[in-house]
Structure 1
């Protein structure tokens, strides 16, 4: 019996190692690398069917790995049955058996498989694909049974649907491929940024890229012809919101080109409300990718962004969307900015526009400022941290970063100085 148990334990260990390696490989493989390997071996037609079964394969290989590990444990218990006498040595038998099983499983079901998957995930999957396909056919009834619990577990854990998870994995895969090609010099930094910008459009909202209400300039609906002409010249925009009383009451959008016919008509009757066009309204939560599609369908370039209470939160233009892809755009009529959004002053020191997004500043200066649902910008982070509107020259420290207000008004912060300090051994981690 002991010899049979030994052989079963050895077989279960080898099989468990195989299924553990496959399970780890299925969770970490690169779709592009797997496609290349299959194409090299003339099996490119097998890629799509395999990808469709990936989640099923993960479930089957994981289940087999657990089952085989339990079998190894039972066999080791059987092997030590004759070594220890009944009675007082029973506890010792279990302790030794579990210790040996833990060692065997740690080496053959964890360490070796994970290492194989880390360095050879795609090659392992290509070589074992026929056996994996057989496993799916044999254990499909078991997989179907286990899938019955999937919706229940997802609801309890509040997890996303498999489609959303699949989309996230695909996005991560694309970004991974781009980074790989960047290392090979096949993709330069600008191309990488553009590709990342396109991918991130799906998760970016209008509220994140809009010009905020505090920076929006408009024209009152009862303005005279001369006032409208002066506003167009002063503001320098081709599309200007027209409002009644205040910006929460935007009644339309004035296109500068529509005013050409009024040139030289000083003193003639003029009603601005007869010239303006309907304003396109969108919520702050509007996905930028969807918004771009609506801009194209409606053949417009600007929209009014509304907050959850129906008030005006800001304006978003097609240029704002394009800047998410290609970076900041400055046309020939736009004045050159004396103060760029992030101006590097020295190593680890920069002057920053308070409207810069925290994640952009983190990327630019390799910082770890916290991102929160309560704010998006550096100015919002300053308000949230201090709890009041700071005055010029007021500063505070967060972790190893000192932030000093360099330009502020009564109701807002305009610019701050960000300085990375030398790490202090006495830092308590919260920096205050």
Structure 2
């Protein structure tokens, strides 16, 4: 009898150790950063490579570990019930429940999980070989359980795809960055840059392009001297050239190319240095892109074509605006200013009273980034567009609206465009 008691107690102890192993392994393998494991694996760390392989199929991994953990916990509880019933009779059931609950919670759950979450990289690489064996052994049972679960969910109208990931890598990164910012570990500027780079694939050139009404152009019918004067007065280095009407873009002139060509041009005998100069001889072919192109794709095209300037057209080929590489980079690093930019050109400024004077063409995204606000940009790209959408009309100067926790006052309007607004956050 004594030997049976000792063997049963030893079996319970072994099962508790196994339970702690499964609990700690689950926490370590799910908490560890796959990015760090990948970096170590790329440097030749075979343990990290095994851990990566084990965590490839997270559903199968968790299923196998939970199955093993439940098996040892139930078996340990059953043996403890037999042991305590033999020692204390019927009251041994209650004693076994209390003792096993305390042992499992402390030594098989809290203790191993605490160690695993604080040393996830070391723990995951150490347990990976053993868990790989467990996953292989329990794979048939896990697959069967997976099929049963999906079948039951399907009966309730819930479809789970075979390769469904609960959280995508991109969402994990965005969540980690946002959490780091809220906890003070990531500066606002760093958060904006990282999230800006991640958002390039979800945003289109239509959202950030310079509208056609604001594009500076050159009429090919002008004299060469007038064209040069326009180029000199403009703060831009590239200007579109149109013929007959602004919709008919026939070329793009670069100020440096124009200067170089004028310098090399030979004046005629009559003394007019630009008399026979043809600006189209140095103009570049216009590059058109559809307004639905993503910023990520457009940046790749700019790099591939070795150009920084594109004209945006809609599905009918009508000119909508223009976009430059600088516009895309500003979505990542923020506003880029140079010696030609003045404070008056800035689309937003703060008044002494705490209000914000905002250009109506300023994008909602830029306004949110600058002030850490959360105005919705689903229905409109610009601040003026948001006001018009919410008001369901084109407001007049002086009208005031309150929505989304902000007060909007229309300060200036030109034709049907809201050009300037005053915004104040409501407390």
TM-score, normalised relative to structure 2 = 0.69
Per the TM alignment, residue 396 of structure 1 is displaced from its structure 2 partner at its CA by 1.0
Which of 376, 384, 389 in structure 2 is aligned with 1:384?
A: 389
Q: Deviations over 1:218-254 (max 9, x none)?
A: 1234333233223213333221112244443322212
Question: Tell me, what secondary structure is at the counterpart of 1:297?
Answer: helix
**What is the distance in 2 between the residues matched to 1:143 and 1:251?**
65
**What is the distance in 1 between the residues matched to 2:228 and 2:357?**
36
**What's 1:54 paired with?**
55
Which of 393, 397, 403 in structure 1 is aligned with 2:402?
A: 397
**What's 2:336 paired with?**
329
Per the TM alignment, residue 23 of structure 1 is displaced from its structure 2 partner at its CA by 4.7
Per the TM alignment, residue 189 of structure 1 is displaced from its structure 2 partner at its CA by 6.1
Question: Is 2:407 the counterpart of 1:406?
Answer: no
Judging changes above 3 Å, is the alpha-carbon distance between structure 1 residues 367 and 236 closer, same or farther for their aligned structure 2 residues? closer
**What is the distance in 2 between the residues matched to 1:192 and 1:219?**
40
Which of 288, 291, 308 in structure 2 is aligned with 1:284?
A: 291
Question: Is 2:325 the counterpart of 1:318?
Answer: yes
**What is the distance in 2 between the residues matched to 1:309 and 1:206?**
16
Per the TM alignment, residue 258 of structure 1 is displaced from its structure 2 partner at its CA by 3.4
Aligned residues, how many?
390
Mean Cα deviation higher: 25-34 or 385-394: 25-34
**What is the distance in 2 between the residues matched to 1:161 and 1:247?**
50
**What is the distance in 1 between the residues matched to 2:214 and 2:15?**
68
Per the TM alignment, residue 123 of structure 1 is displaced from its structure 2 partner at its CA by 5.7
**What is the distance in 2 between the residues matched to 1:398 and 1:107?**
52
Q: Is the 8 A contact 1:401 1:419 kept in 2?
A: yes
Q: Is the 8 A contact 1:222 1:272 kept in 2?
A: no
Per the TM alignment, residue 60 of structure 1 is displaced from its structure 2 partner at its CA by 2.9
| Matching of residues 246-285 of structure 1 within 5 Å | 246-260=245-259, 261-262=261-262, 265=272, 268-269=275-276, 272-285=279-292
Q: Is the 8 A contact 2:22 2:69 kept in 1?
A: no
Question: Is 2:305 the counterpart of 1:298?
Answer: yes
Judging changes above 3 Å, is the alpha-carbon distance between structure 1 residues 29 and 71 closer, same or farther for their aligned structure 2 residues? closer
Per the TM alignment, residue 300 of structure 1 is displaced from its structure 2 partner at its CA by 1.6
Judging changes above 3 Å, is the alpha-carbon distance between structure 1 residues 36 and 229 closer, same or farther for their aligned structure 2 residues? closer
Question: Tell me, what secondary structure is at the counterpart of 1:294?
Answer: helix
Per the TM alignment, residue 51 of structure 1 is displaced from its structure 2 partner at its CA by 2.3
Q: Is the 8 A contact 1:12 1:68 kept in 2?
A: no
**What is the distance in 1 between the residues matched to 2:41 and 2:282?**
62
Question: Is 2:52 the counterpart of 1:45?
Answer: no
CA RMSD of aligned residues (A): 5.1
Question: Tell me, what secondary structure is at the counterpart of 1:279?
Answer: coil
Highest CA radius of gyration, 1 or 2? 2
**What is the distance in 1 between the residues matched to 2:178 and 2:404?**
30
Q: Deviations over 1:337-356 (max 9, x none)?
A: 32523323368632222333
Which of 28, 33, 38 in structure 2 is aligned with 1:30?
A: 33
Question: Tell me, what secondary structure is at the counterpart of 2:411?
Answer: strand
Mean Cα deviation higher: 118-127 or 411-420: 118-127
Question: Tell me, what secondary structure is at the counterpart of 1:388?
Answer: coil
Judging changes above 3 Å, is the alpha-carbon distance between structure 1 residues 202 and 48 closer, same or farther for their aligned structure 2 residues? farther
Judging changes above 3 Å, is the alpha-carbon distance between structure 1 residues 165 and 234 closer, same or farther for their aligned structure 2 residues? same
Judging changes above 3 Å, is the alpha-carbon distance between structure 1 residues 135 and 273 closer, same or farther for their aligned structure 2 residues? same
Question: Tell me, what secondary structure is at the counterpart of 1:236?
Answer: coil
**What is the distance in 2 between the residues matched to 1:200 and 1:230?**
40
**What is the distance in 2 between the residues matched to 1:158 and 1:388?**
45
Q: Is the 8 A contact 1:395 1:403 kept in 2?
A: yes
**What's 1:369 paired with?**
375
Question: Is 2:360 the counterpart of 1:359?
Answer: no
Question: Tell me, what secondary structure is at the counterpart of 2:402?
Answer: strand
Question: Tell me, what secondary structure is at the counterpart of 2:57?
Answer: helix
Judging changes above 3 Å, is the alpha-carbon distance between structure 1 residues 267 and 43 closer, same or farther for their aligned structure 2 residues? closer
**What's 1:165 paired with?**
168
Question: Tell me, what secondary structure is at the counterpart of 2:351?
Answer: strand
Please list every run of 5 or more consecutive structure 1 residues that lacks an aligned counterpart in the other structure. 1-6, 81-104, 423-432
Which of 333, 339, 344 in structure 2 is aligned with 1:338?
A: 344
| Matching of residues 196-207 of structure 1 within 5 Å | 196-207=195-206
Q: Is the 8 A contact 1:348 1:420 kept in 2?
A: no
**What is the distance in 2 between the residues matched to 1:279 and 1:16?**
68
Per the TM alignment, residue 137 of structure 1 is displaced from its structure 2 partner at its CA by 2.9
Q: Is the 8 A contact 1:241 1:253 kept in 2?
A: yes
Judging changes above 3 Å, is the alpha-carbon distance between structure 1 residues 234 and 160 closer, same or farther for their aligned structure 2 residues? farther
Q: Deviations over 1:310-367 (max 9, x none)?
A: 22222111222332333322222x1413252332336863222233332332333333
